[in-house]
Amino acid sequence: MTAKAVPPKRRDWSLRSRAVRAVLYQLLALGLIALAVWFLAHNTLENMRVRGIQSGFDFLTQPAGFDIGERPVPYEALDAYWRAFLIGVLNTLRVAIVGIVLTTILGTLLGIGRFSRNALVRGLCYAYVEVFRNVPVLLQLLMWYLLLVEALPLPAEPISLFKLFYLSNGGISYPVPVWGLGQALAGAGALLGLLLGWLWARRARRLFEQTGQPRPVLLPAVGLLVAGALLGWLVGGAPTDWNVPQPGGFSIEGGSALTPEFLAVLLGLTLYTSSFVAEVVRAGIASVPHGQGEAAGALGLSKGQQMRLVTLPQALRVIIPPMTNQYLNLTKNSSLAVAIGYPDVVSIANTAINQTGRAVECIAVIMAVYLTTSLGTSALMNWYNKRAAIKER
């Protein structure tokens, strides 16, 4: 007997439909929010006009008229305000990205160290977490800045390492290659090696799932990275020209340098946030049933392999969501760098406010920058969280 075809369900567009009412309520809420924002903006601009206060973002195209100590891209004092804000945004991203990488590495090592069989290692990791997470981050920034500026020698008598690296209260100076075709090809080769290393890691994981036999991942990936960079360097003519720093009378000339302001911000944010990341990692590892480690040991896996192949992949579903919060906190806490003179976006905005009086506009730029970076970080971590989630059959 042939079953009758089920007629397609007709969508109910009347107000009796719960779905339709939910959409209408959301549209109504968005309309009310937009109306409130428009009213506040219009009222603010009108009050500023009545009091003779200039408003608008036209000042962004005017010459800034001030210099910036740290410039990731070329900048002159006569450049427009928008370029000064660009410098501030790049400096903020520079601290945030490097800080997130270092925080992840240090926090993960500390979290794993809390499960070490060595009592001294466990105690040191515990002491680190308790000390750094209970001292306000602003005090840590000031402490590192004063330490770098007051305790280190003057640039005329720096601490030298192999006459290549110099440490003084002006920062860390180090040699950099003279940029040319060879360096560009070396960088391209390194990127190619990184891609090949990632493909090898995926293949090694797939082979492990099929056969149960672990394959080395770290050493082959590093080998491919180095081989790609070396091959590109050789193809580019194997250039050997370096810009080496040399101590001068009042400063260290040549090479490149990391300023004490950047180092203080990076150290303070990294050490502070890594103490919270360590607790996140510890909680994630503790959430994995103990039997998983015992089963991995019964298969002949070492302690390191158990942690890397069994425990951490299962702990990621607990680690990633709170880890995202710590990344956001690190990025937003970078605004405290204004206290030690690091030219981030907040510092540039403060200078622009003092010179133009456009407080509302400059604050709006700061809000837009941090909102964009926070939403971008959240979107990236949410994507990674979906990839790392355990797929149930």
SS3 of 12-30 = CCCCCCHHHHHHHHHHHHH
Predicted local confidence at residue 9, as pLDDT: 55
- Residues (pLDDT < 70) of the chain are 1-15, 52-54, 390-393
Could you tell me the sign of the dihedral formed by the alpha carbons of 323, 324, 329, 331, in that order? Answer: positive
Among residues 236, 223, 221, 222, the alpha carbon closest in space to that of 187 is found at 236
Predicted local confidence at residue 7, as pLDDT: 55
Phi-psi sector, 135: left (phi>0), alpha (psi -120 to 50), beta: beta
Q: What is the rounded CA–CA span in Å between residue 249 and residue 225? A: 40
Q: pTM for the full model? A: 0.81
Helix axes 312-333, 81-113, angle to 10 degrees: 140
Token output for 139: 């005090």
Predicted local confidence at residue 371, as pLDDT: 93
